Amino acid sequence: MQKYDYAIIGNSAAAINAVDAIREVDGEGSIGLFGEEKYRCYSRPLISYLVAGDIESKGMYYRPPNYYHKSKVDFHAGERVVSISPAQKTLTTAGKEKARWRKLLLATGFTPFVPPIDGMDEVKYMTFVSWEDAKQMLRLTSKKVNALVIGAGLIGMKAAEALHARGAGVTVVEKMDRVLPLALDERASHLVAEGCRKARIDIITGVSVSRLEGRGGNKGVAVLEDGADIDFDLLVMAVGVRPRTELAEAAGLPCERGIEVDGYQRTAQETIYAAGDAVKAMDIVLGEPSVNALWPVAALQGKYAGMNMAGDDEYPYPGCNSMNAVEFFGLPVLSAGIVNPPSEGYQVIVRQDDGGYRKVVLQGDVLVGMLMAGRIERAGILTGLIQERANVRRVKKSLLDEGFGNIHLPRQVRKGRIEDAKTSLKAGGSVRSRGG
């Protein structure tokens, strides 16, 4: 049986950043990394750009070919872990291989959610979350097709844009009243939908697919709840994703809508950590643990999980907030924190002009959300204020001004940023100094 100081289940943002962090602290401890896919680490957010032809296959990778060797990682490519035993500190793969670990990281990510639509077993469909999905879409669009995308979230809309770039006729159906309903507000959603319609993508909102009928091969018909029919040659299911908690649940770890962790990314079992899209960790805007299935969040959680696995829980996770940065047909859109206030008690400031649409959301004197479409200058400073939960009472009315910058922030906020930067540098130096 193979034995590892650190075993990692997963091979994406959380897992790879955990490896890097472990190596900063412990240069020699053995690491075994188990990835379900055959590929070395690649950027999932880039699959739509690969399909659209904006990047080549080699552009998908974000570490060099010798990364695992150089990092002294035993990479088990294409090996799916089917069970873990916290008591015995072992894991078992689908191929019946076993490995023992001293500390374990669950970076299991998410899985696409496919709703139980009547007739689903009669049609062929695909999802759009992996490199294999991208390859399948490239094959299926080698000739002119009419594609139907069910779901207008970030994954669905990027799939629609990629299909359009491939020359497909595209229809998007969303049961909620607008596209990107969780990431954007009504106005920004309208701007995105308007751009898609100008590109001749058919957007249908406020209605669900009630039934699917197969017509042989990849062809089929979707019947909407209002009775309308949509013929398709390619069907993409992009309704949403769910955290992959099955390993953690089977091992008896608490998993209420996500793997639960403490402030150090540690689960209820002190030798098992978790990070990434399957994890419910502190959201500083909501003030409570939440699942944020976003690449930068997964990377940050993986970093802190790795440091704590190798550094005896010395590095508290600072928390995160939901943030999306994407572009549709030349319209850049960025949102962070709360963009659709759930109740009264929030102050909303909006600016709209020919250059775009901008909005900030405040709770008392604290900036808790922002949204920019078209013009995203100075978005970084606003997202920083959200992350810091800074008091912006004196600059509320200036947050969306053209010349707003760090110089306009209250002295205590500027001082806090300087102190945080010093602390971060010290922490980074401490980690590096303990490397092998």
Domains annotated on the chain, with CATH: 2-111+242-311 (3.50.50.60), 120-239 (3.50.50.60), 330-418 (3.30.390.30)
CA proximity to 372, closest of 399, 398, 396, 391:
399
Rounded to whole angstroms, how far apart are CA atoms 338 and 70?
Answer: 41
Closest CA to 277 of 253, 324, 325, 244: 244
**C-alpha to C-alpha distance for 174 and 407, rounded to whole angstroms:** 43
pLDDT in tens, 42-96: 999 999 999 999 999 999 999 999 999 999 999 999 999 999 999 999 999 999 9
How many whole angstroms separate alpha carbon 302 and alpha carbon 352? 38
What's the CA angle centered on 98, arms 94 and 103, to 5 degrees? 115
- Cα 260 to Cα 346: distance, rounded to the nearest angstrom: 29
Amino acid 67: pLDDT: 98
Share of the chain above pLDDT 70, in %: 92
Q: How far apart are CA 111 and CA 124, in angstroms?
A: 18
Q: What is the pLDDT of residue 406?
A: 56
What is the pTM (predicted TM-score) of this model?
0.90
Q: How high is the pLDDT of residue 431?
A: 35
pLDDT category of residue 399 using cuts at 50, 70 and 90: confident
Give the pLDDT score at 379: 83
Position 425 confidence tier, pLDDT thresholds 50, 70, 90? very low
Tell me the Cα Rg of the chain.
23
